[in-house]
Chains A and B, each alone.
Chain A
Amino acid sequence: SLGNLTACVWLSLQNSMILSAAIFITLLGLLGYLHFVKIDQETLLIIDSLGIQMTSSYASGKESTTFIEMGKVKDVVINEAIYMQKVIYYLCILLKDPVEPHEISQVVPVFQSAKPRLDCLIEVYRSCQEVLAHQKATPASP
């Protein structure tokens, strides 16, 4: 019953060992959340003829970066996905299959945590396409 539960919790709180252990575990859990889960900022850097770099910076200051060389990038597109009762849009990078140059081997979504809406995605998409078009117009010189 509720009265028993309250009495139990009160008794355990009186014991300072359990209380300090609980506080310690909560602090650890909070630090772990800030370091591994909470993403503050996501960046997409696209450099002509070098590649595309995606950075996620966490609340504790940790940064995790992924760099994809331009030789592996086929295209950057906005994909539509039907999720339950709504349609969501996400930007993703299509990677070339090394064996079959016309096939797609992997789809890498970007901005997984920020999940911007379609109007932001369209702007990013336009800038990416400008760079990629320039890159495709001047192929590798011998």
Chain B
Amino acid sequence: MVLKAFFPTCCASADSGLLVGRWVPEQSSAVVLAVVHFPFVPVQVKELLAQARQASRVGVAVLGTWSHRHQEAAESLGRFLEGLGAIFSHEPWLQLCRERGSKSWSCTATRRQVPACPSTPHEDQVMLVFYDQRKVLLSQLHPPAALPDRQAGDATASAGGLAAVFDTVARSEALFRSDRFDESPVRLSHWQSEGVEASILAELAKRASGPICLLLACLLSLVSAASACRKANVLVSVLLDVALGLALLSWLHGKDRIGQLAEALVPVADHVAEELQHLLQWLMGAPAGLKMNRALDQVLGRFFLYHLHLWISYIHLMSPFIERILWHVGLSACLGLTVALSILSDIIALLTFHIYCFYVYGARLYCLKVCGLSSLWRLFRGKKWNVLRQRVDSCSYDLDQLFIGTLLFTILVFLLPTAALYYLVFTLLRLLVVAVQGLIHVLVDVINSLPLYSLGLRLCRPYRLAAGVKFRVLEHEAGRPLRLLMQINPLPYGRVIHTYRLPSCGCHPTHSWGSLCRKLFFGELIYPWRQRGDKQD
């Protein structure tokens, strides 16, 4: 197998030294984490590596040598580097070499022990893969969705070679603490040495921000034991909600808008009631050219008109208090825009209560009719509904039973269109109100469950959320090893929303379209906000 050497781009311009990193034998890949510069004492290097191994539980070791020199290099350097192979023994021993000022790299990997089977070559073929250490350190891999019949334990086992690279870099924090600019016995080069701030103020700010970030992390961890990204999402969503609510509040309380709203409310309610009255008068006449049963029509029409008259009186009774109530309700917007929207939805429900009542009356009447009709239709055919066995059985009726049954059936059939029309009209009105409430609920749901922090992160720092990696082939010369650049493939926006979506209140409609139509046809009442587990009335 070709030996893959993962080399950080920040070390490409570093001075000669030793390569320190982790060797993954299953993928035959060497992950280089840092370069140790001359001069060093081998004992101290080994001590540092043992410390790093203990702290991060990653098997860091000396992997080989790195030489970055001019063309006319001293022979002594070459021999010195070969001598190092004897001090730090590692299988296989890498030797990376780059000529200063040019792009030609060379890499060899040698194995000391000659293997048993002679066909395996003594020197392996090497492939160089450059990676940006800081980005790989900070990014989080999101593997594609697992198959449903796999247990969670399998996921880590078949994680794949690249996940191992990310894992290695992420866990090697201990190694990155000391730098080549620090005054320690061992000088390392890694992503931290990419540049020190020139201004002392910037350096101080960076050092001061450390404790602040720690404090924030502590605060977040106090809230719950979930991952940092989810907590940040919740926090940002809540903050945005409150901010929008305060904006709404300031808009409402400026320029006496509440007073204007209150003044406009009663005439609007009156107007709606008047329209309903016109509708009922129309139904009591000959609606759309249909001829209704006069007596039933008058009864139903007058009943609904009286109900409407009661409702208008109630609204007029309430009108002096409306402004006060609205003002206090407007204050609740400081808790968040979602609270204000939910209260708006409740106010709509209260104001259209008469439509709800009309719908229930119409539905109950229609349901009664349909039940009666179906039962009498069975009697017509000589059958009966067996409640014990929940099926239709044949039954022999007496003559007087049949006679009365047929009479009642005829009456109900001829009264059906009237009741059906009232039911249809009020159901449509009720569905309109439910649709408006549903829209408001969907808006509240979206505001609550949208992961804004993750979306912002994907926009500004796309390498933090990685869906995978992508490779680019760099200039290739014959005889030199193949060089690739590994970049992070960011997660697409759809998957960001899908993965980090906050749990919404789960009030999805429990009926499918088919069952909804069935209920409407048979006149059963529809309760839009009942959950599946609640007891049905």
Q: How far is the CB of A49 from chain B (nearest CB, A)?
A: 5
Check if A69 sits within 8 Å of B147, measured CB to CB.
no
- Docked CA distance A139–B119 (Å): 13
Does B354 touch A at the CB level, under 8 Å? no
Q: Is residue A85 contacting chain B, with contact meaning CB distance below 8 A?
A: no
- Residue contact B471 to A53, C-beta cutoff 8 Å: yes
Contacts of B489 in A (CB 8 A): 65, 67
Q: Which chain B residues (455-480) contact chain A, with CB distance < 8 Å?
A: 468-471, 473
Output the least CB separation between B25 and chain A (Å).
6
Whether A69 contacts B161 by the Cβ 8 Å rule is yes
Of the residues A67, A105, A135, contact of B471 by C-beta under 8 Å: A67
Q: Is the CB of A140 within 8 A of B147?
A: no
Is B473 touching A45 in the complex (CB atoms < 8 A)?
yes
B26 within 8 A of A: yes
Q: CA–CA, A47 to B120, complex, Å? A: 21
Nearest Cβ on chain B to A117's Cβ, whole angstroms: 26
- Per-residue CB contact flags for chain B residues 1-22 toward chain A (1 = under 8 Å, else 0) read 1101000000000000000000
State in angstroms the CA–CA spacing of A72 and B158 once bound together. 9
> Is B162 in contact with A69, judged by CB distance below 8 angstroms?
yes
Q: Which one of B26, B150, B484 lies within 8 Å of A98 (CB-CB)?
A: B150
Tell me whether A7 is interfacial, beta carbon within 8 Å: no
A109 interfacial by beta-carbon distance below 8 Å:
no
CB interface residues, A 127-142, toward B, < 8 Å: 135, 138-142
Within 8 A of A (CB), among B148-190: 149-150, 154, 158, 160-162
B419 at the interface (CB under 8 A from A): no
Determine the chain A residues whose CB is within 8 A of the CB of B162 once the complex forms.
Answer: 69
Residues of chain A with a CB closer than 8 A to B28's CB: 49, 140-141
- With a cutoff of 8 Å between Cβ atoms, the chain A residues found around residue B4 in the complex are 49-50
Q: How far is the CB of A47 from chain B (nearest CB, A)?
A: 7
Q: Which residue of B lies closest to A105 (CB)?
A: B147
Residues in A with CB closer than 8 Å to B120 are 141
Q: Are A141's CB and B25's CB within 8 A? A: yes
B25 cross-chain contacts in A, Cβ below 8 A: 141-142
Cα A138 to Cα B120 in complex, Å, equals 9
What CA separation (Å) do A69 and B27 show in the bound complex? Answer: 11
Closest B residue to A68 by beta carbon equals B468
Query: A116 to chain B: which residues have CB within 8 Å?
Result: none
Given contacts A72-B160, A140-B26, contact A45 B471 (CB under 8 A): yes
Q: How far is the CA of A50 from the CA of B489 in the complex (A)?
A: 16
Contact call B1/A140, Cβ cutoff below 8 A = yes
Contacting B at CB under 8 A, from A62-113, are 65-67, 69, 71-72, 98-99, 105
CA distance A140 to B27 in the complex (A): 7
Which one, B27, B158, B470, B473, contacts A67 given CB within 8 A?
B470
Q: How far is the CA of A52 from the CA of B473 in the complex (A)?
A: 13
Distance in angstroms between the alpha carbons of A66 and B467 in the assembled complex = 9
Q: Does chain A have a CB within 8 A of B127?
A: yes
Contact residue among A47, A53, A69 (Cβ-Cβ distance under 8 Å from B160)? A69
A138 — nearest CB in chain B belongs to which residue? B1
Query: Could you say which residues of chain B place their CB within 8 Å of the CB of A71?
Result: 158, 160-161
Are B161's CB and A65's CB within 8 A? no
In the assembly, what is the distance between CA of A139 and CA of B147, in Å? 27
Inter-subunit contact B158/A98 (CB<8 Å): yes
A69 to B162, CA, bound (A): 8
Residues of B within 8 A of A67 (CB): 468-471, 489
Are B154 and A99 within 8 A (Cβ)?
Answer: yes
Are B468 and A66 neighbours in the complex by a CB distance under 8 Å?
A: yes
**Distance (Å) between the CB of A1 and the closest chain B CB?**
30
Q: What is the CB-to-nearest-CB distance from A104 to chain B, in angstroms, rounded to a whole number? A: 13
Question: In angstroms, how far is the closest chain B Cβ from the Cβ of A139?
Answer: 7
Closest to A97 in B: B147
Rounded to whole angstroms, the CA-CA distance of A45 and B486 in the bound complex is: 13
Residues of B within 8 A of A135 (CB): 1
Query: Contact between A48 and B471 (Cβ–Cβ < 8 Å)?
Result: no
A140 to B2, CA, bound (A): 9
Distance between Cα atoms of A55 and B482 in the complex (Å): 20
Could you tell me the distance between the alpha carbons of A22 and B66 in the complex, rounded to whole angstroms? 63
Once the chains are docked, how many angstroms separate the CA of A98 from the CA of B153? 12
Bound form: Cα–Cα A49–B482 in Å = 13
Question: Among the listed B147, B161, B471, which residue makes an inter-chain contact with A47, where contact means beta carbons less than 8 Å apart?
Answer: B471
Complex CA distance for A98 and B469, rounded to whole angstroms: 20
Contact status A98-B154, CB under 8 Å: yes
Taking the nearest CB of chain A, how far is it from the CB of B287, in angstroms? Answer: 33
Do residues A49 and B150 form an inter-chain contact, with CB atoms below 8 A? no
Which of B1, B149, B489: most chain A Cβ within 10 A?
B1
- A53 adjacent to B27 (CB under 8 Å): no
Q: Which residues of B contact A140 (CB under 8 A)?
A: 1, 26-28
Q: How far is the CA of A99 from the CA of B157 in the complex (A)?
A: 11
Give the distance in Å from the alpha carbon of A72 to the alpha carbon of B147 in the complex: 14
Whether B470 lies near A47 (C-beta < 8 A) is no
Are A47 and B484 closer than 8 Å at their CB atoms? yes
Of residues 479 through 533 on chain B, the ones whose CB sits less than 8 Å from some CB of chain A are 482, 484, 489
Chain B CB count within 10 A is highest, among A72, A98, A135, for: A98
- CB neighbours (8 Å) of B154 from chain A are 98-99
Contact (Cβ within 8 A) A53 B1: no
- Say how far A137's CB is from chain B's closest CB, in angstroms: 10
Residues of A within 8 A of B484 (CB): 47, 50
CB distance from B24 to the nearest CB of A (A): 10
In chain B, residues 208-257, which have Cβ atoms closer than 8 Å to a Cβ of chain A? none
In the complex, residue of chain B having the shortest beta-carbon distance to the beta carbon of A137: B1
Beyond known contacts A50-B471, A69-B161, A72-B160: 4 more, CB 8 A cutoff: A67-B489, A138-B1, A141-B25, A141-B28
Q: Which residues of A contact B (CB under 8 A)?
A: 45, 47-50, 53, 55, 65-67, 69, 71-72, 98-99, 105, 135, 138-142
10 pairs of A and B residues whose beta carbons are closest in the complex:
A65-B470, A49-B2, A98-B158, A69-B160, A138-B1, A67-B468, A49-B1, A65-B489, A140-B1, A67-B469
A-B contact pairs, 18 of them (CB 8 A): A45-B471, A45-B473, A47-B127, A47-B484, A49-B2, A49-B127, A53-B471, A66-B468, A67-B471, A67-B489, A72-B160, A98-B150, A98-B158, A99-B154, A105-B147, A138-B2, A140-B26, A141-B120
